[in-house]
A and B are shown apart, each in its own frame.
Chain A
Amino acid sequence: MKSAVLVFPGSNCDRDMAVALERVSGRKPKMVWHKEAELPLGVDLAVVPGGFSFGDYLRSGAIAARSPAMRAVADFAARGGMVLGVCNGFQVLTEAGLLPGALMRNAGLDFLCKPVELIVEETQSPFGRGYEAGARIRLPIAHHDGRYVAEAETLDRLEGESRVAFRYAEEVNGSERRIAGILSENRRVLGMMPHPERAIEAILGGVDGLPMFETLTQEAA
């Protein structure tokens, strides 16, 4: 699989994501600086990593969402390319309008870093195909603005089209309907708050992120 990882000033999970992608796909991803207006040729997957792009200073992800590289990602997504946004990446994808809704300050107001239990809600996308429907998996979260918010009809639509990818098994941050990750209409764009790239080795506390990277690699093959 050929993949690209976007890098904004203030990204800080870009390396972690690159390590995970290389480990599973056997291929080093291309790192794409935010000022680049095009993705490398032949890329199968574009990843918007976690961190605090541009300090998250106006709103989390807001400034990064308007960068040249994100415009390239939007074009790529429109052509059916696979896009994964994790944590700050999810925030960027919603700010860029590639996914509906918004991510707001956690209900408890504090930053939260801990492993959480997730329910796998869909297995029809290249991201979820490696899991069993309804499976409970454990991934770490690390965010301050992770409360997923959208209008009721949007939420109903997401549910109706089975586009809720992951749901927190228990209440974590006040997200509507405990939504932890959602898919685009064509199921090729996934945004999620938990970090699959931090769960690919037992020594780091778990391997529940592996199936996602494995099926993405297969999809691209």
Chain B
Amino acid sequence: MRVRVRERGRERAEGQHILSTSALRFAELSLARATHDPAGLAVPMGRQRDSGACHAMSARNKYAQVDRTYTHTRSPLSPLIKPSLPTPSGAFGFVILAQEIETGEHWAIKFLERGNKITKVRMWRESERERVGRRWALSIFSPSLSCFPLVHSTSAGS
């Protein structure tokens, strides 16, 4: 028992150490970035070019995919609520674990599908679904764009 307590104590001391060094490391890193350290990790890609299109596309060549299956948010809701709502993180796209080719550093890259989506309609639908009394909302809305005029006329008429 004693051993266990000591171990726990040591573990905590180590944890404290991690916390403070991480803060330090972090501050150094931030300062290096702030001063545009040319040898720093974050070579400011964007600042060197003006053409947004060009740089936005070329940045991806910096990274190599390590693990396509890596996801950091998954099945977020309890079994209780899961069937009644889509999982908020389920549809955002996907996350990969990537390695920066030049430095070997690991990064998580979150991919969202391009193209605009009318997210507010969805948000509205979600909030409506939460309000059990408003059944009409569920019957009127479909997630597609085409339902939009209906939103208009209904809310103006009620």
**Mutual binders A and B:** no
A interface residue numbers (CB < 8 A to B): none
